Amino acid sequence: MAESYTGSTGTVYAVEKVLQDKGPPHGRVFLARDGRRPVVLKEIAQVWDLRRDMYARTIDSPHVRKLLDTVPAHKIFVFEYLNEDLLKLTWKKLPSPILRSILKAGLRGLASLHEKDIVHTDVKADNFLVQIALDDDPSNIRLEKVELGDLEDSAPIPNGQSLVGAQLGNDMWRSPEAHAMGPIKTPSDMFSFGIVCLFAMTQVLPFAVDVDKLEAGIEKPVVIMERQLSYFADEDTLEGLLKYLGESNQFVQLFRVLKSGFGDHQPRRPFALWQGLDVENEDAFRDLVVKLTNFDPTKRFTASQALQHEWFRDVRDISST
């Protein structure tokens, strides 16, 4: 592929291959080179100016993906290329200290966004971008950089305000209030981060649904919401969520119906009681995830609280430069 683009800085980017092409309205993502290093070019099909300004607001945020350059004529953003992401790395069964460092660095990025009243809205394992040198010998693994990426769907939400009326984010990582198209604020990101932690350390995707195996008339989102109730809700926190959503929300009744389906024939499986997680400092890890996934968004752990939790204590910090 001989295509090339010239950025606002005057740098010429030679495209090597297409990394992603989902078709309209989504733009393509390219791997390119600037003459000395690999970079990522990302076509931004919509609200380009707003998304560029979002990256400008986060330029000093540690562990948040940096915008290196732009190609305004083609509505392209230019980013540093990082060779892995947490989704792929989790399946490679890296040593626990490496995974914990990635999670802590990504959490620092999330905390930085929230301090600026920015909600990411799409926190998931593959948006934790990682530069790492892998080796069969764990002692030779070098974790060089961690960045929280994909800020294109992020939104500035001043304190006291919220996004309402959309099911934002990927359904496997989405918070209960996001499934219910309720008010989206920073706590929604934290629920998603809790699911990322659970996946990274246990390789369990609690809300992965094989749609081919669903019975006729059963919808995937309903299955996910039922699992959320089973694993992370109790009487008080469910009522907290329903109050948060408000009686006018169309999903309030659905949550109540799903709750009524649990009983002796179909018991709940609270994550707080899960055993055999095979995670370093298991009790502290379980406590962290429980606090991150509190069903009541007003009671959920903040990013700054999570950073102070004992499970992240003594976890090695990764340089943000």
Report yes or no on 317 lying in a domain: no
Tell me if 97 is assigned to some domain: yes
Domain of 40: which CATH number?
3.30.200.20
Beta strand spans in 45-151 (E): 67-71, 76-80, 84-85, 118-119, 128-133, 142-148
- Same domain, yes or no: 132 and 259: yes
pLDDT band, residue 321 (cuts 50/70/90): low
Q: Identify the domain containing residue 111 by its residue range.
A: 84-312
The pLDDT confidence band at residue 140, using thresholds 50, 70 and 90, is confident
* Same domain? 232 vs 250: yes
Whether 19 is covered by a domain: the verdict is yes
**How many CA within 13 A on the CB side of residue 50?**
8
Query: Residue 40 contacts by C-beta under 8 Å, 6 or more apart in sequence?
Result: 19, 29, 30, 31, 32, 78, 79, 80, 81
135 and 232 part of one domain: yes
**Could you give the CA distance from residue 159 to residue 208 in angstroms, rounded to a whole number?**
32
Above pLDDT 90, what percent of the chain? 79
List, as one string, the DSSP characters of 140-174: G-EEEEEEE--GGG-EE--TT--B-S---S-TTT-
2 — pLDDT class (breaks 50, 70, 90)? low
Nearest Cα to 82, choosing from 135, 40, 35?
40
Global confidence as pTM = 0.95
Domain count for the chain, please give it. 2
CA 64 → CA 90, 98, 271, 272, 282, distances in Å? 20, 18, 30, 31, 28
Q: What is the reported pLDDT for 62? A: 84
pLDDT value at residue 137: 81
pLDDT at residue 118 greater than cutoff 90: yes
pLDDT of residue 320: 57
- Confidence grade of residue 272 (pLDDT, cut at 50, 70, 90): very high
pLDDT digit string, tens, across residues 74-94 = 999 999 999 999 999 999 989
As a whole number of angstroms, the distance between CA 121 and CA 100 comes to: 22
